[in-house]
Amino acid sequence: MNNVGHGNSPITERVLSASDDMSAQLAGLRQVSVDGRVARETINLAYGFFTPLTGFMNSEDVHAVCNNMHLKSGVLWPIPIVLDASAEELHSNQIREGDGLLLTYEGNPLAVMDVEEIFDYDVEAMARAVLGTADTAHPGVGMYKSMRDRFVAGPVTLVAAPRFREPYDRFWHTPLELRRAFHDRQWLRVVAHQTRNVPHGGHEWLMKGAWFAANGDLGVERIQTGILVSCIIGPKRVGDYIDEAIILGHQALQDGGYFRRDVHLVSIALWDMRYAGPKEALFHAILRENMGCSHHMFGRDHAGVGRFYDPYDAHRIFDALGIEELAIKPVRLLEWWYCPVCKEITYSGLCGHVDRRQSFSGSMIRSILQDEVKPTTLVFRPEVFDATMTAAALYGGGSPFCTAEYLSSRPPVFDMPPTGSHAR
Amino acid sequence: MGETWSQQVSRPYCTVEIWINEERLGRLQDIGLAELAEEVLAGMRVLRIPCAEVEARELLGQCPAAKHDAATTGTIELLPPAVKSALFELVVRHGSLDVVRDYLNDVSAESD
């Protein structure tokens, strides 16, 4: 089994095990509470999702990433991974470089951090470097501008495994677990599908098209290529699909037999979208490289928002990379639409009936779901529609879309054990 | 030639769009209205119910979450599914698209 991740670095886990009785040491550490984004990124760092990173970036790495899209070591990296803290909190807790810290999340111990550097950075410059804009109409800009005024760098170690609630617990897999799962399935190639949507017919064919592209020249005697559906779990806005509907909708594609069980795996990935278009596409590729994927599909307007990026900027950024910089291949895809002449969902790069195309517009799909009218099987597989509406009833207060009430009352996706360590 | 005065006053102020799937299409075929449903995506069709200005105001008054999108689609958006289903049932029962007034009357009668 190959456990080499991005930058030719091994995937390593930094998680205390149940046998590590660290309670006395933890009790003596100064504490800093972190928000959801930092908690999610701490977990990613500790499990190797961000290999070769083992902790939050120092000023040299942030500078190198912002200016050259590489770490100081020369490894390709497009987005700073930083822990922000307030100067006041650091001062009042007398936290200095060289200290050990206990990061807490929602009042419970999260991780131990060795403070290697405390530094300032211009967050507007960081936003411009990552997003290409400081326009506050871009949602990523707000995220950067909300950061506090100091950054704390250093490696992190989780004090225990996070506890995911149902149904997330069934879909949470670490990079090492995923690599084991791919190995057990005898997949030589794995193509990642990143998603924040309940899958409609266009998505299904996007995945199938990417599978064909990734499978390419492999023999047909045995299926050796798989699809990893990687559902992004992070902050939500009113009107987004609820996470439960996304995950269970994708699983319904497999349960309904539209994807064979031996070629399809649904998982979740913790990440706060920056909507950074091309740079975020590159980051997603690195994330899935660390998860063990050989290919990553990129459709139209991947990780984009509004009109800040050209719909295919996320494809073109890969043209600028050196061949050794990334051990995952992009699968670049155009749009899949329904053609009433071909009478099928077809690929815009193949279909000649452009004037007759029927595109899968997000607003149209949303309207169908809001009206609770069971769509035709080419729009939504019946199993996907049923799973979506069941998730809406179970988790969304009747709606498959986030409402203000859902966002204010939903239980957390994960939490940390209140005391001690509970390694998996 | 421009619209006549009578054409202008009879023109609907806006529409309510109702999704038509295969099951609903069959019911429209039974009453001869299937051709009024326009196919928009892979067999899913839209039936556009005309709505006069006074009717739109009453509908919006009853459904506070709904909105009239005057700028782009000219439709009443975000009507509850139950309202749209009731409108569709009235279309099938009356064999006509002019059902918004009937719906409002039914609601008014129920609340009396």
Phi/psi region, residue A43 (left: phi>0; alpha: psi -120 to 50; beta: rest), is alpha
The verdict on A375 touching B (C-beta cutoff 8 Å) is yes
Q: What is the model's pLDDT at position A421?
A: 44
pLDDT tier at A423, thresholds 50, 70, 90: very low
- The 10s digit of each residue's pLDDT in A69-126 is 999 999 999 999 999 999 999 999 999 999 999 999 999 999 999 999 999 999 999 9
Arithmetic mean of pLDDT over chain B: 90
Interval A51-74 mean pLDDT: 98
Helix extents (H) in chain B = 5-10, 22-30, 53-62, 81-94, 100-111
Q: Look up tokens 């957390």; give the residue.
A: A412
Please tell me the distance in Å from B83's CA to the nearest CA on chain A: 10
Please tell me the distance in Å from A256's CA to the nearest CA on chain B: 20
For the entire predicted model, the pTM comes to: 0.93
Residue numbers in A near B21 (CB within 8 A) = 373-376
pLDDT value at B4 more than 70 = no
pLDDT value at B111 more than 90 = no
Residue of B nearest to A378 (CA): B42
Residue of B nearest to A343 (CA): B42
Of A364, A367, A374, the CB nearest to B21: A374
Mutation test of the interface with chain B: which of A371, A378, A405, choosing the one with the most B Cβ atoms within 10 A?
A371
Spatial separation of the C-alpha atoms in residues A78 and A148, rounded to whole Å: 21
Spatial separation of the C-alpha atoms in residues A179 and A218, rounded to whole Å: 20
Interval A162-189 mean pLDDT: 98
3-state percent breakdown (helix, strand, coil) of chain B, nearest 5: 50, 20, 30
Number of other CB atoms surrounding residue A4 within 10 Å: 15
Of B20, B41, B84, the CB nearest to A360: B41
Token pair of B19 as six digits: 């999704």
Please tell me the distance in Å from A358's CA to the nearest CA on chain B: 5
Please tell me the distance in Å from B5's CA to the nearest CA on chain A: 35
Residue of B nearest to A357 (CA): B41
Q: What is the model's pLDDT at position B5?
A: 58
Instruction: Report ipTM (2 d.p.).
Output: 0.87
Secondary structure class of A61 (helix, strand, coil): helix
Spatial separation of the C-alpha atoms in residues B30 and B17, rounded to whole Å: 20
- The 10s digit of each residue's pLDDT in A204-217 is 999 999 999 999 99
Residue numbers in B near A339 (CB within 8 A) = none
Q: What is the model's pLDDT at position A24?
A: 78
Contact A358, A373 (CB under 8 A): no
Please tell me the distance in Å from B41's CA to the nearest CA on chain A: 5
Give which of A46, A153, A167, A162 is closest to A108, Cα–Cα.
A162
Token pair of A391 as six digits: 């998730």
Residue of B nearest to A368 (CA): B19
A138: burial class by Cβ within 10 Å (0-12, 13-18, 19+)?
A: buried
DSSP β-ladder status, A189-195 and A295-298: parallel
Mutation test of the interface with chain A: which of B16, B27, B44, B88, choosing the one with the most A Cβ atoms within 10 A?
B44
